């Protein structure tokens, strides 16, 4: 018995294969465009397994300054280090958001404190000489939008975050290298261990003001901006402050152990 199958519709085999071919071409075209724009980047070195965490293996893209001159700053992310795990999200906040946060905090700035590891209470300390204030979580629309953006970037829900803290450093003020994770029972019971921190720079500075990771693994003098760093900044892997940029670093490793290379000042 022979059975012939007929479709109610005329065969479109040749048509559909032409279409698939066209689509493949278009997709290739899109990828090429993305490559040209630097949106997708092919790592220039595949890296031997032993050098996976070497800072010199990290590709640092140059900022597109022509776009910034036109007042249009596109956000882009950059890996800074793998030990600690640290990333810079360029143009994370707009200029307006930075100025708004400063205006909210300015009337309420007080001398910063540190957490007492025995009692869990706040205390004055010579290792932290800045002034600052806290903004209640979700206090207004702008703050909520920023908190949502942080949640999207970090994959950590907003409810897991502490309120934003606005800090101000005068010339000569500092926060000596420290860990953001807790080493006492009091604070770990009260909300659990801190996983990660995001620092957002609200103003530009002429010099200094870097965030420095003195225990970062790798040759930190190999970074492209090494010569622009202050003396303090050269004591480790440093990130230069730039208005609107955000620095995310993890105090805990993916296996939930504490990461001592997250030491920062
Ligand atoms: C670190 O990097 C700098 C700049 O690339 C280089 O001059 C220096 O030799 C490197 N040091 C080591 C120990 O590899």
Binning pLDDT at 50, 70 and 90, where does residue 17 land?
low
Beta carbon of 221 within 6 Å of any ligand 1 atom: yes
If you write DSSP's letter for every residue of 164-191 in order, what string do you get? Answer: EEEEE--TT--B-SB-SS--SHHHHHTT
pLDDT for the residue numbered 16: 58
| Ligand 1 pocket mutation, candidates 60, 221, 229, 234, criterion most atoms within 8 A of CB | 221
Ligand 1, atom 6: closest residue by C-alpha: 222
Which atom of ligand 1 lies nearest, measured to the CA of 219? 1
The pTM assigned to this predicted structure is 0.74
Cα-to-centroid distance, 261 and ligand 1 (Å): 20
pLDDT in tens, 90-120: 999 999 999 999 999 999 988 877 777 777 7
Ligand 1, atom 4: closest residue by C-alpha: 222
Cα-to-centroid distance, 223 and ligand 1 (Å): 10
pLDDT in tens, 25-55: 444 444 433 333 333 344 444 333 445 567 7
Hey, what are 210's tokens?
């870097």
Domains of the chain: 62-262 (2.60.120.620)
């Amino acid at each position: 018995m022979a059975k012939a199958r007929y479709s109610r519709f005329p065969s479109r085999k040749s048509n559909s294969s032409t279409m698939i071919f066209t689509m493949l071409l278009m997709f290739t075209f899109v990828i090429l465009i993305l490559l040209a724009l630097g949106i997708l980047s092919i790592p220039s070195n595949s890296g031997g397994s032993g050098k996976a965490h070497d800072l010199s293996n990290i590709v640092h893209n140059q900022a597109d300054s022509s776009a910034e001159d036109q007042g249009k700053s596109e956000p882009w992310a950059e890996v800074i280090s793998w030990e600690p795990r640290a990333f810079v999200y360029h143009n994370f906040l707009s200029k307006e958001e930075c100025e708004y946060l400063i205006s909210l905090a300015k009337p309420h700035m007080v001398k910063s404190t540190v957490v007492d590891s025995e009692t869990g209470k706040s205390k004055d300390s010579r290792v932290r000489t800045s002034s600052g204030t806290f903004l209640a979580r979700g206090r207004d629309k702008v703050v909520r939008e920023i908190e949502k953006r942080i949640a999207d970037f970090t994959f950590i829900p907003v409810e897991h975050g502490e309120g934003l803290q606005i800090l101000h450093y005068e010339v000569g003020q500092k926060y000596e290298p420290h860990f953001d994770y807790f080493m006492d029972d009091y604070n770990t019971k009260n909300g659990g261990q801190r996983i990660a921190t995001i620092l957002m720079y609200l103003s530009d500075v002429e010099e200094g003001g870097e965030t420095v990771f003195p225990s970062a693994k790798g040759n930190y003098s190999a970074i492209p901006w090494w010569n622009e760093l202050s003396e303090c900044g050269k004591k480790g892997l440093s990130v230069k402050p730039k208005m609107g940029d955000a620095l995310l670093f993890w105090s805990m490793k993916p296996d939930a152990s504490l990461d001592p290379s997250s030491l920062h000042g």
